[in-house]
Structure 1
């Protein structure tokens, strides 16, 4: 794998069953300023997937590639952005954080097990 390849992140979170339609509606047209901030924070190739388990509960999986030098600083920059804060006020009520996530995490970061290049 090339040395200059991006850092890959996988994250997961629950989705409140009664908020699935709202979450999908919001993400059908992400606000342009929010989308731009994601890019300004050195995130590329980001995707969010949804899955319903047999028990009827929904979960989201996010994959992203980070091309910057300081992930924590870029995430702080994103969190400080007023438009992103407004977006999160719309999306966070839809989400159900996992009980075993680390302190300070909304989306639980996952450990990469395998990567096929």
Structure 2
């Protein structure tokens, strides 16, 4: 299992819309997240920043992420959510949410 953290800004005036979207997340999108070996997925908000955390329990992260990205319902969900985001200019190539380095973990 590997933990992932990422960050993005919420676009001005979009927080309430983003909250409503995620309060009624599409069932097909949630099924795809699970099918792609993601567990304990959470999104947090603070002062205009969104922080995402999940645990990946699969064997091939790149293949699972490609599978998710190819899913038509997930792609429609992303198209609805994308206008709510302001990605960081320092994000890595191919990233929308900027991946974060884990500095500490205690279990």
Shorter-chain TM-score range:
over 0.9
Matching of residues 20-39 of structure 1 within 5 Å: 20-39=15-34
Segments of 5+ residues of structure 2 without an aligned counterpart are: none
1:78 offset after TM fit, Å? 0.3
Bigger Cα Rg: 1
Q: 1:48 aligns with which of 43, 46, 63?
A: 43
Q: Which residue of 2 aligns with 1:55?
A: none
Runs of 4+ in 1 over 3 A off after TM superposition: none
Matching of residues 68-107 of structure 1 within 5 Å: 68-107=58-97
TM-superposition CA deviations, 1:36-70 (whole Å, max 9, x none): 00000000001000011xxxxx0100000000011
Segments of 5+ residues of structure 1 without an aligned counterpart are: 1-5, 53-57
Q: Determine the C-alpha separation between the residues in 1 that align with 2:40 and 2:13.
A: 29
